[in-house]
Amino acid sequence: MAVSWCGSNFGPYSPGMRVHLDVEKCQGHNRCYALAPELFDVDDYGQAVLLGDGSVTPDLEDKARLAASNCPEYAITITDS
């Protein structure tokens, strides 16, 4: 009997880590940009903006965690699937 991967949570594709930015909480401390410029930029008002769609490649996971843990406003969260 064939086994289908359809509908499984353990399929061959895993979206991996994602970083999320709550722009309402951001107060422009810019630690995220200083620690992870591959993931964050700042706009003309000094507020953080996410680069890309929030996907974090494995080589940037440590920087994403560092940015999240160093934001004094708790504006950055990480999800890992």
Q: Which residues of the chain form contacts with ligand F3S (CB under 6 A)?
A: 26-32, 48, 71, 73, 75-76
User: Under DSSP, is residue 67 helix (H, G, I), strand (E, B) or coil?
Assistant: helix
In the complex with ligand F3S, which residue's Cβ is closer, 8 or 42? Answer: 42
Give min distance, CB of 55 to ligand F3S, in A: 18
Q: How many C-beta atoms lie closer than 10 Å to residue 76's C-beta?
A: 26
Give min distance, CB of 22 to ligand F3S, in A: 8
In the complex with ligand F3S, which residue's Cβ is closer, 15 or 20? Answer: 20
In the complex with ligand F3S, which residue's Cβ is closer, 29 or 61? Answer: 29
Position 69: which residue type?
S
Neighbouring residues of 56: CB distance < 8 A, sequence distance ≥ 6: 16, 17, 18, 19, 39, 64, 78
